[in-house]
Amino acid sequence: MNPRTITLHDCSFSTYICEEEIIARIVMLAEQLDQAYAGKTPLFLAVLNGSFMFTADLLKRISIPCEVSFIRLASYQDMHSTGKVKEILGLNEDISGRHVIVLEDIVDTGHTVHGLLKQLADRGPASVEVATLLMKPECLQHELEVKYVAKTIPNDFVVGYGLDYNGLGRNLRDIYKIVS
């Protein structure tokens, strides 16, 4: 991949994870999930907006019977997590007795996933696991088991492939990191 620098609002970002690597990692994740959930007809719960590309590319590669639904939570302001847990919007399915797999774009402090898992547990699912495209282990502030991680990254702010910087960058096919 030729290094490329882009500008979004007031910040510069340079290429970091190319589309080929993203897809290769998603293919591996899909194989893992196919094996782990064979015979279970899992329900994927994709957290909008950031996970839309990840969800589409992952689900195309899942070959076991499954369902997918999209939910919405807190939005991310600038480059810092708000730490607030927001209510789940758009979850119309009855998840009791279901095997649920939450699809996240990125786990940073873990506040979002921690809050979400607590709320989902109250609805009586058979199991809940998290599959995330990216994870920043250095930033984690909760005891969270994120079982399925496509790639771990250091504490850099990234955009592209669904992830935005104040609304921009979600459409980029590669992932970029902020130029420090």
Which residues bind to ligand 5GP, rule: CB under 6 A? 50, 76, 81, 104-112, 157-159, 163-165
Of the pair 64, 139, the CB lying nearest ligand 5GP is at 139
For residue 4, the minimal CB distance to ligand 5GP (Å) is 18
CA–centroid distance for 140 within its chain? 15
Question: Which two tokens mark 85?
Answer: 């847990």
- Taking a C-beta distance cutoff of 8 angstroms, is the pair 109, 141 a contact? yes
CB-nearer residue toward ligand 5GP: 41 or 142:
142
Q: Closer to ligand 5GP at the Cβ: 89 or 126? A: 89
Closer Cβ to ligand 5GP, 38 or 147, answer by number = 147
Any long-range contacts for 90-96 (C-beta under 8 Å, 24+ apart)? 90/48, 91/45, 93/43, 93/67, 93/69, 94/123, 95/43, 95/120, 95/123, 95/124, 95/125, 96/123, 96/124, 96/125
Kindly name the residue from 57, 108, 164, 174 that is annotated as catalytic.
Answer: 108
Q: Where are the beta strands (DSSP E) in 40-170?
A: 43-48, 67-72, 99-107, 127-135, 148-152, 158-159
CB of 163 to ligand 5GP, least distance (A): 4
Residues 6+ apart with CB under 8 A from 81: 108, 109, 111, 112
Q: Is 108 a catalytic residue?
A: yes
Minimum CB–partner distance for residue 100 and ligand 5GP (Å): 17
Catalytic site residues? 108
